[in-house]
A and B are shown apart, each in its own frame.
Chain A
């Protein structure tokens, strides 16, 4: 599936990237590596590996399953993870803004919703965002 960034531009994986399912993550990593998380992942177990991971991929089994949003925010806020957080699985262009706000930086677009639909979502005049953003300022944004 095409991979896009936050501007809905198609991008390529870093050269030589290896993605491991969480259970198969080797204790020491060589070369650019990433991990694929299911939505019930335990981040405390993953924490020691985070500094060495270029990509954390979070799976959406169905777009209605919103656990991935909390995983991404926790990675950014609790664990200070600064690498690429990638969405994969089934999610909708309608959710693009929320995914970005929670800290996702790359997106493996689902088969039924190609990059063009995500680009269109981005071009719409309304970009979702909490009303309180205006009053609260930066404190609402992910750190």
Chain B
């Protein structure tokens, strides 16, 4: 007979707890009281007195079975809540930190990164962040006292980057336009080590997520990060999120306009925007200035391409209404040649139309992409243009003076080194180095330098995860080789943007010693994967193990296969960008079994396209076989040097479909 237990997450630390009747809430499912169907209503009433919300949130009943005398939930998700992430056997669910334990001094107390070409924050910026951390502390206090209900508190905590996940609270920290100094990375390592269980997860939106925060520790963690000018403001919630850009911005040889300046201006404008902080839904802006789209601007709510007009002045091409999730769309173009002074004004006009008219009756139809499609792009553009024309003349005008004031705080890095031929010579007799250089470096605008990508995709590891120790190592390498500067890429890797070519052999040696020299950038094992059901409360499937099995299976052939983007999401929300992967995998639940839908032909660059579903979903265990069969088919028909995506565009889905569905 079906048994049920009552479960929830504790308000103070987010730990999953199980109702044990008169004994209150227990931390292990085995301690729970199990109820037969007729008893469950009364038990729920007992577990939920009027002030229950002050202790435990998301209280509900879940089905369990009794196995060898102990209780185990039936649903995968609840099993993972009871046990911990399936991919981290070393991290069982439950209480892991003693909040009374003393902490060492912050890294910022004894180090700074004087060289990094990052935006120079000042005391005003830090004070702003310290006060925001205190303000969040006050919200937590008000929530605990009952002055704010959970319903009211939730959007406020989200706007500070705090989610409630399966095992604890998750804290999402913005890395504005992906730029970090070594000192900032050390501060992140500190938070990972002391407030989390020793690691963090870099995401596709140039954020880092900590998975194991106690709500009560969040204000202190935010205060620690404030000292290094980092924060979680507007990393969630229905507001303007962290503006993302190209990870090689300010360094790439092919750059036309450095987007960081405008991304910083947008950051300052959108932070605490009084009018646009309670939008119908989240709002993501990306900007790129390289001619080549490395920031997926066409799948953002607003996408901006910076280029130069005939006179050589920077101007913008504005897109809107791109997005992934359950209704993926490539953005529509609103404007060409928008002059710099008008940038924020035009964004204001777009947001004002969206805030007034975006749907609020259905969360799944609330993004700007739906508004634009429902009212037709021409009608939307007309409203935006009318709104824009009616703005007061000086409102939000980006004067030259203002742009210069922000630009002055981006010191240009000093790049005096010439190419002394050291790297070329070393590559001649070190094939591993040569392969890593080919795969993991990107041309720099200063001829004596390259940008070097540090892969966070070890075969069999967890995409985007970095331990606190690894973060410290990368920070040291940045100080040693890259003017103290690090970038976070939108494919979940790290970048040392300014490495002298002559230093590359030494850097490679240090990376090998640290186990960070995976030479797989842009290859089949450089998989984008969201956290999936091992962490995420919204998941329908586990994305990490699937990514691990695919990488293990195809690693031996990855260099032969060449450029290929595999993207995996654990549910329809598409955080792993599966729609725009050359191969996309979406995990869905089919009668309690995790299966994967395969899409082909997606792309996130200037040829942005939404992938097409190729056939029936494939059981998890068959996914590596299916991808391997797909690769066999591709290698058999590709023209010399042709990338998978180009073969697909040339031949369509048929040969690949046959390959996948012939295997089982």
Q: Does B406 contact A (CB under 8 A)?
A: yes
Taking CB as reference atom, which chain A residue is nearest B272? A128
Q: In this assembly, does B274 line the interface, its C-beta being within 8 Å of a C-beta of chain A?
A: yes
> Is there contact, CB below 8 Å, between B278 and A139?
no
Q: Which of A74, A94, A129 has the most CB of B within 10 A?
A: A94
Please state if B355 and A70 are interface contacts (CB–CB under 8 Å). yes
Knowing A64-B238, A132-B265, say if A126 contacts B275 (CB, 8 Å): no
B360 at the interface (CB under 8 A from A): yes
Do B405 and A135 touch (CB < 8 A)? yes
CB within 8 Å of B: which A99-135 residues: 99, 101-102, 112-113, 117, 124-126, 128-132, 134-135
- Whether, in the assembled complex, A92 has its beta carbon less than 8 Å from a beta carbon of chain B, the answer is yes
| B364 at the binding interface (Cβ < 8 Å) | no
Contact call A131/B352, Cβ cutoff below 8 A? no
A140 within 8 A of B: yes
With CB as the reference atom, state the residue of chain B lying closest to A65: B360
User: How many Å lie between the Cα of A64 and that of B138 in the bound state?
Assistant: 20
Question: What number of B residues sit within 8 Å (CB to CB) of A?
Answer: 44
Interface residue? B34 (CB, 8 A): no
Complex Cα distance, B275 from A128, in Å, reads 12
The residue that B274 contacts in the complex, of A65, A67, A98, A112, with Cβ under 8 A, is A98
A interface residues, how many (CB within 8 angstroms): 37
Q: Is A131 within 8 A of B271, CB to CB?
A: yes
Docked pose: A116 CA to B561 CA in angstroms: 66
Asked if A74 contacts B277 (CB within 8 A), the reply is: no
Within A29-70, the residues touching B (CB, 8 Å) are: 63-67, 69-70
Residues on the B chain within 8 Å of A143, using CB: 392, 395
Among the listed B131, B148, B272, which residue makes an inter-chain contact with A125, where contact means beta carbons less than 8 Å apart?
B131
Shortest Cβ distance from A94 into B: residue: B156
User: Is B128 on the interface with A (CB-CB < 8 A)?
Assistant: yes
CB distance from A116 to the nearest CB of B (A): 10
Q: Which residue of A lies closest to B237 (CB)?
A: A64
With a CB–CB cut-off of 8 A, which chain A residues contact B501? Answer: none
Residues of B within 8 A of A102 (CB): 274-275
Query: Which of B152, B238, B272, B278 is A130 in contact with, Cβ under 8 Å?
Result: B272
A residues less than 8 Å from B148 (CB atoms)? 92
B442 at interface, CB cutoff 8 A = no
Measured CB to CB, the nearest residue on chain A to B280 is A66
Q: Contacts A92-B152, A131-B128: A97 and B274 contacting too (C-beta < 8 A)?
A: yes
Q: Are A73 and B392 CB-contacts (below 8 A) given A131-B267, A135-B405? A: no
**By the criterion CB–CB under 8 Å, are A64 and B278 in contact?**
yes
Report whether B131 and A77 are in contact in the complex, using a CB–CB cutoff of 8 Å.
no
For the complex with contacts A69-B277, A125-B131, 18 further pairs of A-B residues with Cβ separation under 8 Å are: A64-B278, A66-B275, A66-B276, A67-B356, A69-B276, A69-B355, A77-B392, A92-B156, A117-B147, A126-B131, A130-B268, A130-B270, A131-B267, A131-B268, A132-B265, A132-B268, A135-B405, A139-B395
Q: Are A130 and B273 in contact (CB under 8 A)?
A: yes
Q: List 17 A-B contacts (CB under 8 A).
A: A66-B276, A67-B355, A69-B276, A69-B355, A73-B275, A94-B156, A98-B274, A98-B277, A124-B135, A129-B272, A130-B268, A130-B272, A131-B271, A135-B268, A135-B405, A139-B396, A143-B395
